[in-house]
A and B are shown apart, each in its own frame.
Chain A
Amino acid sequence: MNGKKVFAIARREYVERVRTKAFWIATLVIPLLFGAFIAIQVSISRKTGGERRIAVVDLTGNTAKPLADELASLEAKQATEAEGRRGPHWILETRPLQGSLDATRDALRREVLAKKINGYLVLDSERLANEETDYYSTTVSDFIAQTQLGSAINRVTMRQKMEARGLPADLSADLEKRIDMKVFKVTQKGESEEKGAGILAAIVFLILMYSTFFMYGYQVMRGVIEEKSSRIVEIVVASVRPTELMLGKILGIGLVGLTQYFVWSLVAMNLSLPWMATMLAGGSDLGVPRIPISMLAYFILFFMLGYFLYASIYTTIAAPFNTDQEAQQLAMIPMMLILGGFLIYPAVMNNPSGRVAVFFSLFPFTASLVMFMRTAVSEPPAWQILLSVALLLGTTALLTWFAGRVYRVGILMYGKKPTIPEILRWVRYSPGKAAQPATRAS
Chain B
Amino acid sequence: MDYAIDLNGVSKSFGRFKAVDGLSFRVPRGAMFGLLGPNGAGKTTTIRMIMSITAPDSGTIQILGHAMDRRTQNRIGYLPEERGLYRKMKVIDHLYFLAAIKEVSRDTARQRIQGWLEKMELKPWLNKKVDELSKGMQQKIQFISTIVHDPDILILDEPFSGLDPLNVALMREYFLEFRGRGKTIIFCTHVLEQAEKLCDEIVLMARSKKILEGSVKELKRRNSEGLLRISVNASLADVNSLPGVASAKAQDGQFVVALQPGVNQRDFLKRALDLHTVEAFSQKEPDLEEIYIDAVRKAGMEETRTIE
Task: Give B36-75 as 1s and 0s: 1 = Cβ < 8 Å from A's Cβ atoms.
Answer: 0000000000001001111111111100000111110110
Measured in the bound complex, the distance between the Cα atoms of B83 and A434 in whole Å is 30
Q: Which of A2, A236, A425, A434 has the largest count of B CB atoms less than 10 A from its CB?
A: A434
Q: Is the CB of B88 within 8 A of A16?
A: yes
Measured in the bound complex, the distance between the Cα atoms of B53 and A221 in whole Å is 21
Q: A230-B87, A441-B70, A442-B69 are in contact. Are A4 and B59 (CB under 8 A)?
A: no
Q: Does residue B178 face the partner (Cβ distance < 8 Å to A)? A: no
Q: Does residue B218 face the partner (Cβ distance < 8 Å to A)? A: no
Measured in the bound complex, the distance between the Cα atoms of B103 and A396 in whole Å is 29
Measured in the bound complex, the distance between the Cα atoms of B52 and A236 in whole Å is 12
Q: A5-B101, A437-B69, A441-B70 are in contact. Are A235 and B55 (CB under 8 A)?
A: no
Which of the 9-residue segments A45-53, A96-104, A237-245, A257-265 touches chain B? A237-245
B87 surroundings in chain A (CB, below 8 A): 230
B103 surroundings in chain A (CB, below 8 A): 4-5
Measured in the bound complex, the distance between the Cα atoms of B52 and A237 in whole Å is 9
Q: Is the CB of A437 within 8 A of B67?
A: yes
Q: Is the CB of A232 within 8 A of B85?
A: yes
Measured in the bound complex, the distance between the Cα atoms of B94 and A16 in whole Å is 10
Q: Does residue B97 face the partner (Cβ distance < 8 Å to A)? A: yes
What is the CB-to-nearest-CB distance from A420 to chain B, in angstroms, rounded to a whole number? 16
Q: Does residue B137 face the partner (Cβ distance < 8 Å to A)? A: no
Q: A235-B80, A432-B58, A437-B69 are in contact. Are A8 and B142 (CB under 8 A)?
A: no
Q: Does residue B17 face the partner (Cβ distance < 8 Å to A)? A: no
Q: Does residue B82 face the partner (Cβ distance < 8 Å to A)? A: yes
Q: Does residue B84 face the partner (Cβ distance < 8 Å to A)? A: yes
Q: Does residue A292 face the partner (Cβ distance < 8 Å to B)? A: no
- Which of A15, A16, A240, A440 has a CB less than 8 Å from the CB of B101? A240
Q: Does residue A436 face the partner (Cβ distance < 8 Å to B)? A: yes
- Which of B60, B69, B73, B83 has a CB less than 8 Å from the CB of A234? B83
Q: Is the CB of A414 within 8 A of B78?
A: no
B142 surroundings in chain A (CB, below 8 A): 235
Q: Does residue A65 face the partner (Cβ distance < 8 Å to B)? A: no
Quick one: which of A1-30 are within 8 Å of B by CB? 2, 4-5, 8-9, 11-12, 15-16, 20
Q: Does residue A325 face the partner (Cβ distance < 8 Å to B)? A: no
Question: What is the count of residue pairs linking A and B with beta-carbon distances less than 8 angstroms?
Answer: 98
Q: Is the CB of B68 within 8 A of A437?
A: yes
Q: Which of A9, A232, A236, A238 has the largest count of B CB atoms less than 10 A from its CB?
A: A238
Q: Which of B15, B55, B68, B145 has the largest count of A CB atoms less than 10 A from its CB?
A: B55
Measured in the bound complex, the distance between the Cα atoms of B56 and A437 in whole Å is 11
A236 surroundings in chain B (CB, below 8 A): 101
Quick one: which of B85-102 are within 8 Å of A by CB? 85-89, 93, 97-98, 100-102
Q: Does residue A130 face the partner (Cβ distance < 8 Å to B)? A: no
Q: Is the CB of B80 within 8 A of A435?
A: no
Task: Give A295-329 as 1s and 0s: 1 = Cβ < 8 Å from B's Cβ atoms.
Answer: 00000000000000000000000000000000000
Q: Considering only CB atoms, which chain A residue lies closest to B73 in the complex?
A: A239
Interface size on A, residues (CB 8 A): 35
A442 surroundings in chain B (CB, below 8 A): 69-71
Measured in the bound complex, the distance between the Cα atoms of B145 and A238 in whole Å is 11
Measured in the bound complex, the distance between the Cα atoms of B74 and A425 in whole Å is 31
Q: Does residue A412 face the partner (Cβ distance < 8 Å to B)? A: yes
Q: Is the CB of B101 within 8 A of A435?
A: no
B54 surroundings in chain A (CB, below 8 A): 412, 431
Q: Considering only CB atoms, which chain A residue lies closest to B47 in the complex?
A: A238
Q: Is the CB of B82 within 8 A of A414?
A: yes
Q: Is the CB of B69 within 8 A of A440?
A: yes
A–B Cβ pairs within 8 angstroms, 19 of them: A5-B100, A11-B100, A12-B86, A230-B87, A231-B83, A235-B79, A236-B101, A239-B98, A239-B101, A239-B102, A414-B82, A431-B55, A432-B12, A434-B59, A435-B10, A435-B60, A436-B55, A440-B69, A442-B69
Q: What 20 new A-B contacts, CB under 8 Å, besides A15-B93, A435-B60?
A: A5-B101, A11-B100, A12-B86, A12-B89, A226-B86, A230-B86, A230-B87, A232-B84, A234-B80, A235-B80, A235-B142, A236-B101, A238-B73, A239-B73, A239-B74, A239-B101, A435-B58, A436-B56, A441-B70, A442-B70
Give residues in B with beta carbon < 8 Å to A. 10, 12, 15, 48, 51-61, 67-71, 73-74, 76, 78-80, 82-89, 93, 97-98, 100-103, 142, 145
What are the 10 tightest A-B residue pairs by CB atom distance, in nearest-first order?
A231-B84, A431-B55, A8-B100, A234-B80, A238-B78, A239-B101, A230-B84, A432-B55, A437-B67, A436-B55
